[in-house]
Structure 1
């Protein structure tokens, strides 16, 4: 095998490894192909060009791979593919009611027996004990049963 083919094997092996480490980390197959090309190039170099040239290619490839790994694992490059943002959102826990017993509100829709009530600035789905309450009426919280807010009309 001539020296140009061996050099191309080494160059493409390094390019594939660079693509794996720097541009598309975690794909593995690209890195394995690059490693196979590097190994084949070094092996052909030892076989066809002699041990002195093979040692130089092995040392050069080892240094190049070391530089690629160092460049690829720097924090600046890892931040491109790592999740660095923090989600501070939260979900209202239905087990911890945000409407207190005895709180009053105004019915936004007719409660037949379920509907919507406005407590201060919070809209909540509520239910009655079976009675009809017209829209706009004042209601008071009787209790919270499981995930339902039970209300009655304020007279």
Structure 2
């Protein structure tokens, strides 16, 4: 039973430290708990088995922890958990494709100062630089900038 308690304390400590490194880096609480469990296991080993075996338990625990961390980082096991992809797309990249300055369209909603207008067969959100524009009015594109369509009637 003494060995079971000793191994359980040290094993829980190792698992908590690995959890800190892999899943929740930077929280430090789980890592500190892992270290406390490992220290408690080593202390329990000193109490239960005396100094000579206690030093062996300390050395073994330190060696196993170091070997697991070294193997994990050196072999690339942790890269399976790492996010390697990056989002490179942007929203509305092709929104202004086919539109040009001076193009004529029709307001399909009141534009006060933002509303909707139809250019060709597509409806776009537009902004008026000349104030209120009634639905059904003819509008012209004055500016195309920063994915915004600026119109006037």
Fold match by TM threshold 0.5:
yes
Normalising by structure 2, we get a TM-score of 0.63
Counterpart among 11, 15, 19 of residue 8 in structure 2:
11
Q: Give the number of aligned pairs.
A: 144
Normalising by structure 1, we get a TM-score of 0.62
Where does residue 18 of structure 2 map in the other structure?
A: 21
- String of CA shifts for 1:121-141, please: whole Å, max 9, x gaps: 351324373675552x54322
Residues 13, 35 of structure 1: 8 Å contact kept? no
Mark the CA change 1:45 to 1:114 in structure 2 (over 3 Å): closer, same or farther: closer
Distance in 1 separating the partners of 2:87 and 2:78 = 22
Residues 6, 45 of structure 2: 8 Å contact kept? no
Distance in 2 separating the partners of 1:42 and 1:113 = 72
- String of CA shifts for 1:28-56, please: whole Å, max 9, x gaps: 32332332233343345446534431232
Distance in 1 separating the partners of 2:87 and 2:150 = 30
Distance in 1 separating the partners of 2:49 and 2:35 = 20
Shift, 1:18, TM fit: 1.4
Where does residue 124 of structure 1 map in the other structure?
A: 125
SS of corresponding position for 1:85: coil
Mark the CA change 1:51 to 1:101 in structure 2 (over 3 Å): closer, same or farther: same
1:39 and 2:39 aligned:
yes
Computed over aligned residues only, the root mean square deviation of the Cα atoms, in angstroms, reads 3.9
- The answer for unaligned runs of 5 or more in structure 2 is none
Residues 106, 118 of structure 2: 8 Å contact kept? yes
